[in-house]
């Protein structure tokens, strides 16, 4: 835990380039790559990575937070504004980060397991951690830190107290694995599988495998399945190889499998000339394979089959999500109660710090397991984290952490065990605060979580915030330099919830938000959102509210102009930001060509308003057959807005593109784009395959299962016919939740235990029925209404509408649950 301290000389000789040292005695132990997530700044080194946003912009933020060591690639930075700092100027800051981690790696000679493959890397890593933890002190990648940046940050956590490392590596294009191989240098290699994964930037499977195998060039032992590499024509790595397969020649030949009690997978295999067996407490196909990979790894590492079996039977589910839920007494709850170590604590605290909906932040934390580490060092580090991450209160559980009470500079309350906390819960008066739950397994924090969470109607809309961030970053890559982003969060962010999404967007530094009505903007202000917010449909009655809440109205007609001007004049306000809407063909709201001259006159006469932007909306930006119309609209917009821009003597922004406009008309970005549905994972201009990630999943559950005899009917109006009879499941979602009646009688399909099943009969207000004939399902089973497999786009098409209507139609009684992956 006591990380090696690096001197300035060692750093500069490792990463090369030119060094400008003003602070030769500083010592370094923490790598920093994100100016929004800084810790241990005095001993930190900040890498200005060139990404979507240029890292150099954030040097000032890092400097103000106390960082004094910077790796940069831009020689023109004015170093004199950062006195007392060391600058290392290199060609490629990412490469320097990797070089430094590779150098750190070489200081340790204990075994390191490297994992790659298309799927399952994180689960296999976490399971091996569970399986090997009893006799090892393991350092591993936090969450799924497996990228060009994530791997060096993970390997940097290696220290002398560990005796085993487990790291995963993921790549998206050719040439990347060599970099990661140098950083990880695995002695044991695990290749999980190879999938049809698209967007991996490879010509074919052969090439993809070849690239991935570069991780393993120097391993002693290579573990893989003939199922995935049996046909591979290239050379396989490893001095020793350990193979597994189903009913085929392999070191571990799995020849029999059987599901027990619906909960366990019983496996038998041929190994070393004997029949051996194992029980895995999961029954889905992916978990079974991941389990077999772990089984093979234990055997390859020399564990006895009996011991491997005993350990595998105790595998626990891996939940890599950070869930944000509504709690009791207006609290927000971040539930990350499945495991606890320092690196995952740091990540969860970052997420806590990002939450601005309440003034107060509380951490409920258990003792941190780790027998061989010096507890004083651990809790010192925890104390430092709490200060850096703006935690106001620590509620700690367990006999050890209590002993280090003196280390903490925040309000603290200690409990002996979880039972004691539960019995004293009311006296803690948890209210109006954000609470992070972080406990080791043994402390059963799920019991605390259950008490702090609202009981939910069992239909929930899950929102993947990581996917929103991914989608935002994807669109950023499509923008020309300097083009700003206005994120559209109208209609509860297309049904995904307003504050949570807006907060994420603010954190990711979009430039503007837009809502439809003033009320939506007011509620964002109440929750602490400070970004500029455009109101697209400002009501005259709401002008006072708009001004009080610093919202920026869209001015679309002379009537609105006059009325708003009057309010501004009455209040003696000048230069109030407004947005001018032009009608270039939608024929909805906006000034037309004939109005422009008069509008220019009015705008020049007053200084009560300042035109922040001029914009127009496209009629059919997603539709190729309408491209002439779109181009005509853009041309008209350019002319009309150009006239206004020319006459007003100050800078203003122009914008016309919505989501599919951004994808399809890169030449018409002007100064800003308005990104709506693409953020939420949908862009109808992506004809084949989408680079977006699915954001929302709608889930419900089975209330009852019934056998239907031949000829009986199901539901209102007897329209649900089952001539052969069969079995139906009644599920807790109806048209009042937003599941359209048009999906009645087999038009709609839902997913139960991985199988698509059709609706039977009419969709009712609060329920509907599914045909589950021949399926092994139970009451209480989860039912997926839509996700990345049953897509919102497909549902919309079936009932002749658009995804926008489906998403915004999910009623507010359906609870929203947010999570980070």
Q: How far apart are CA 517 and CA 506, in angstroms?
A: 19
CB 350 within 8 A of CB 37: yes
CA 416 to chain centre: 35
Phi, psi dihedrals of residue 11, rounded to the nearest 5°: -60, -50
- The nearest distance, CB 537 to ligand PLP, in angstroms, is 9
Q: Which residue has the tokens 């807790």?
A: 732
Using the rule CB under 6 A, which residue among 493, 659, 697, 744 binds ligand PLP? 659
Helix (H, G, I), strand (E, B) or coil at 415: strand
CB 269 within 8 A of CB 253: yes
- The nearest distance, CB 191 to ligand PLP, in angstroms, is 40
> Exposed, middle or buried by CB within 10 Å (0-12, 13-18, 19+), for 300?
buried
Helix (H, G, I), strand (E, B) or coil at 351: helix
Helix (H, G, I), strand (E, B) or coil at 673: strand
Phi, psi dihedrals of residue 816, rounded to the nearest 5°: -100, 135
Residue 658 contacts ligand PLP per CB under 6 A: yes
Site for ligand PLP in 390-449 (CB under 6 A): none
- The nearest distance, CB 639 to ligand PLP, in angstroms, is 19
Pairing type for strands 6-7 and 411-415 reads unpaired
Nearest to 152 by CA among 31, 51, 67: 31
Q: Which is nearer to ligand PLP, 678 or 720 (CB)?
A: 678
Nearest to 811 by CA among 731, 696, 733, 752: 733
**Given the residues 325, 490, 636, 762, the one annotated as active site:** 490
Residue 676 contacts ligand PLP per CB under 6 A: yes
Site for ligand PLP in 597-636 (CB under 6 A): 617
Q: Which is nearer to ligand PLP, 620 or 777 (CB)?
A: 620
Q: How many residues bind ligand PLP (CB under 6 A)?
A: 11
Among the listed ranges 54-62, 333-341, 675-683, 781-789, the one in contact with ligand PLP (CB under 6 A) is 675-683
Residue 684 contacts ligand PLP per CB under 6 A: no
Pairing type for strands 138-140 and 30-32 reads unpaired
Beta bridge partners, 461, equal 698, 816
Q: Which is nearer to ligand PLP, 363 or 675 (CB)?
A: 675
Residue 664 contacts ligand PLP per CB under 6 A: no
- The nearest distance, CB 581 to ligand PLP, in angstroms, is 8
Site for ligand PLP in 457-496 (CB under 6 A): 488, 490
Query: Would you list the DSSP string of 743-773?
Result: GTTTTSEEEETTEEEEEES---SS-EEEE-T
- The nearest distance, CB 820 to ligand PLP, in angstroms, is 24
232: tokens are 């591979």
- The nearest distance, CB 730 to ligand PLP, in angstroms, is 35
CB 195 within 8 A of CB 229: no
Q: What is the CA radius of gyration of the chain?
A: 29
The helix (H) or strand (E) run that includes residue 41 is: none
Q: How far apart are CA 162 and CA 139, in angstroms?
A: 6
14: tokens are 């490792």
Among the listed ranges 73-81, 122-130, 135-143, 670-678, the one in contact with ligand PLP (CB under 6 A) is 670-678
Among the listed ranges 257-265, 412-420, 598-606, 671-679, the one in contact with ligand PLP (CB under 6 A) is 671-679
> Exposed, middle or buried by CB within 10 Å (0-12, 13-18, 19+), for 373?
middle
- The nearest distance, CB 83 to ligand PLP, in angstroms, is 46
- The nearest distance, CB 580 to ligand PLP, in angstroms, is 12
CB 378 within 8 A of CB 401: no
Phi, psi dihedrals of residue 213, rounded to the nearest 5°: -65, -15
- The angle, 0 to 180 degrees and rounded to 10, between the axes of the packed helices 121-132 and 285-300 is 50
Q: Let me know if 735 is a catalytic residue.
A: no
CB 819 within 8 A of CB 465: yes
Among the listed ranges 34-42, 181-189, 196-204, 676-684, the one in contact with ligand PLP (CB under 6 A) is 676-684
The helix (H) or strand (E) run that includes residue 599 is: helix 596-605
Q: Which is nearer to ligand PLP, 162 or 658 (CB)?
A: 658
Q: Which is nearer to ligand PLP, 366 or 621 (CB)?
A: 621
- The nearest distance, CB 617 to ligand PLP, in angstroms, is 4
Q: Which is nearer to ligand PLP, 77 or 516 (CB)?
A: 516
Using the rule CB under 6 A, which residue among 331, 501, 535, 536 binds ligand PLP? 536
Q: How far apart are CA 453 and CA 751, in angstroms?
A: 27
Beta bridge partners, 70, equal 46, 87
Q: Which is nearer to ligand PLP, 165 or 495 (CB)?
A: 495
Q: Let me know if 490 is a catalytic residue.
A: yes
Pairing type for strands 533-535 and 512-515 reads parallel
Phi, psi dihedrals of residue 528, rounded to the nearest 5°: 95, 10
Q: Which is nearer to ligand PLP, 325 or 655 (CB)?
A: 655
Among the listed ranges 11-19, 173-181, 347-355, 674-682, the one in contact with ligand PLP (CB under 6 A) is 674-682
- The nearest distance, CB 615 to ligand PLP, in angstroms, is 7
Task: Print the SS3 string covering 56-121.
Answer: HHHHHHHHHCCCCEEEECCCCCCHHHCCCCEEEECCCHHHHHHHHHHHHHCCCCCCEEEEECCCCH
Among the listed ranges 327-335, 361-369, 672-680, 720-728, the one in contact with ligand PLP (CB under 6 A) is 672-680
CA 620 to chain centre: 30
Residue nearest to ligand PLP according to CB distances in the complex? 676
Residue 674 contacts ligand PLP per CB under 6 A: yes
Q: Which is nearer to ligand PLP, 534 or 546 (CB)?
A: 534
Q: 253: which DSSP letter?
A: E
> Residues, the chain, total?
821
For 731, what's the count of Cα atoms within 13 Å in the CB-facing half-sphere?
Answer: 36
Q: Which is nearer to ligand PLP, 386 or 682 (CB)?
A: 682
Residue 677 contacts ligand PLP per CB under 6 A: yes
- The nearest distance, CB 699 to ligand PLP, in angstroms, is 24
- The nearest distance, CB 816 to ligand PLP, in angstroms, is 19
Residue 654 contacts ligand PLP per CB under 6 A: no
- The nearest distance, CB 630 to ligand PLP, in angstroms, is 13
Beta bridge partners, 114, equal 167, 189
Q: Which is nearer to ligand PLP, 295 or 494 (CB)?
A: 494
Nearest to 475 by CA among 171, 174, 683: 683
Among the listed ranges 56-64, 335-343, 668-676, 724-732, the one in contact with ligand PLP (CB under 6 A) is 668-676
Q: Which is nearer to ligand PLP, 87 or 494 (CB)?
A: 494
Among the listed ranges 72-80, 136-144, 152-160, 669-677, the one in contact with ligand PLP (CB under 6 A) is 669-677
Residue 513 contacts ligand PLP per CB under 6 A: no
Q: Which is nearer to ligand PLP, 486 or 767 (CB)?
A: 486
**Given the residues 60, 716, 755, 797, the one annotated as active site:** 716
- Binding stretches for ligand PLP (CB under 6 A): 488, 490, 536, 617, 658-659, 674-678
For the annotated catalytic residues, the residue numbers are: 490, 716
């Amino acid at each position: 835990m006591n990380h090696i301290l690096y001197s300035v000389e060692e750093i500069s000789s490792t990463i090369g380039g030119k060094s400008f040292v003003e602070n030769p005695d500083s010592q370094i132990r923490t790598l920093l790559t994100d100016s929004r997530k800084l810790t241990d700044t005095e001993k930190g080194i900040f890498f200005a990575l060139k990404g979507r946003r240029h890292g150099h912009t954030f040097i000032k933020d890092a400097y103000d937070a106390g960082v004094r060591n910077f790796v940069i690639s831009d020689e023109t930075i004015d170093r004199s504004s950062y006195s007392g700092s060391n600058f290392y100027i290199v060609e490629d800051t990412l490469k320097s980060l990797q070089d430094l981690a590779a150098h750190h790696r070489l200081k340790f000679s204990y075994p390191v397991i490297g994992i790659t493959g298309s799927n399952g890397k994180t689960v296999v890593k976490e399971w091996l951690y569970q399986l090997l933890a009893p006799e090892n002190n393991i350092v591993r990648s936090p969450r799924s830190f497996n990228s060009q940046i994530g791997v060096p940050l993970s390997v940097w956590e290696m220290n002398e107290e560990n005796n085993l490392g487990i790291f995963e590596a993921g790549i998206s294009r050719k040439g990347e694995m060599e970099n990661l191989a140098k950083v990880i240098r695995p002695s044991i290699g695990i290749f999980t599988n190879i999938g049809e994964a698209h967007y991996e930037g490879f010509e074919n499977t052969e090439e993809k495998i070849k690239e991935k195998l570069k991780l393993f060039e120097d391993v002693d032992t290579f573990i893989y399945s003939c199922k995935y590499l049996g046909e591979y024509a290239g050379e396989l790595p490893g001095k020793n190889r350990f193979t597994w397969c189903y009913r085929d020649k392999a070191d571990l030949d799995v020849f029999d499998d059987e599901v027990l009690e619906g909960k366990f997978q019983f496996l038998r295999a041929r190994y070393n000339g004997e029949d051996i067996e194992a029980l895995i407490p999961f029954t889905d196909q992916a978990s079974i394979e991941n389990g077999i990979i772990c089984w093979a790894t234990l055997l390859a590492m020399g564990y006895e089959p009996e011991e491997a079996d005993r350990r595998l039977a105790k595998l626990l589910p891996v939940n890599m999500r950070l869930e944000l839920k509504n709690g009791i007494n207006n609290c927000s709850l971040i539930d990350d109660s499945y495991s606890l170590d320092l690196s995952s604590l740091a990540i969860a605290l970052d997420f806590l710090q990002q939450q601005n909906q309440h003034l107060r932040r509380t951490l409920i934390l258990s003792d941190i397991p780790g027998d061989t580490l010096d507890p004083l060092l651990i809790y010192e580090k925890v104390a430092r984290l709490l200060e850096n991450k703006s935690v106001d209160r620590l509620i700690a559980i367990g006999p050890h952490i209590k002993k280090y009470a003196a280390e903490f500079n925040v309000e603290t309350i200690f409990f002996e065990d979880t039972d004691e906390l539960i019995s004293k819960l009311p006296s803690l008066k948890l209210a109006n605060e954000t609470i992070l739950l972080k406990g080791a397994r043994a402390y059963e924090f799920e019991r605390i979580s259950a008490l702090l969470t609202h009981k939910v109607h069992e239909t929930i809309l899950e929102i993947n915030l990581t996917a929103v961030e991914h989608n935002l970053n994807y669109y950023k890559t499509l923008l020309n330099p300097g083009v700003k982003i206005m994120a559209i969060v109208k209609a509860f962010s297309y049904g995904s919830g307003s504050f949570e999404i807006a907060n994420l967007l603010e954190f990711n530094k979009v430039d503007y938000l837009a809502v439809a009505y003033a009320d939506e903007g007011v509620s964002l202000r109440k929750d602490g959102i400070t970004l500029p917010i455009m109101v697209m449909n400002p009501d005259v009655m709401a002008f006072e509210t708009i001004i009080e809440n610093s919202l920026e109205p869209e001015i679309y007609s002379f009537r609105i102009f006059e009325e708003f001007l009057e309010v501004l004049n009455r209040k003696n306000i000048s230069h109030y930001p407004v947005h001018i809407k032009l009608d270039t063909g939608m024929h909805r709201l906006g000034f037309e060509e004939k109005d422009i001259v008069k509008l220019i006159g009015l705008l020049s006469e007053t200084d009560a308003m300042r035109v922040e932007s001029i914009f127009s909306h496209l009629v059919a930006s997603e539709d190729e057959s309408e491209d002439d119309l779109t181009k005509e609209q853009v041309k008209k917009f350019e002319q009309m807005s150009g006239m206004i821009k020319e006459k007003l003597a100050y800078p203003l922004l122009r914008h016309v593109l919505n989501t599919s406009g951004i994808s399809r008309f890169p030449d018409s970005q002007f100064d800003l784009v308005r990104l709506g549905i693409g953020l939420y994972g949908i862009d109808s201009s992506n004809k084949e395959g989408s680079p977006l990630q699915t954001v929302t999943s709608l889930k419900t559950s089975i209330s009852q299962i019934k056998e239907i005899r031949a000829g009986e009917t199901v539901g209102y109006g007897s329209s649900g016919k089952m001539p052969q009879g069969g079995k139906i499941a009644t599920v807790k979602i109806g048209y009042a939740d937003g599941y359209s009646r048009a999906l009645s009688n087999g038009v709609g399909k839902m997913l139960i235990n991985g199988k698509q099943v059709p609706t039977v009969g009419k969709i009712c207000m609060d329920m509907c029925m599914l045909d589950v004939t021949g399926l092994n399902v139970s009451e209480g089973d989860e039912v997926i209404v839509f996700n990345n497999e049953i897509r919102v786009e497909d549902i919309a098409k079936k009932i002749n509408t658009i995804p926008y209507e489906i998403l915004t139609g999910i009623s507010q009684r359906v609870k929203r649950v947010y999570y980070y992956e």
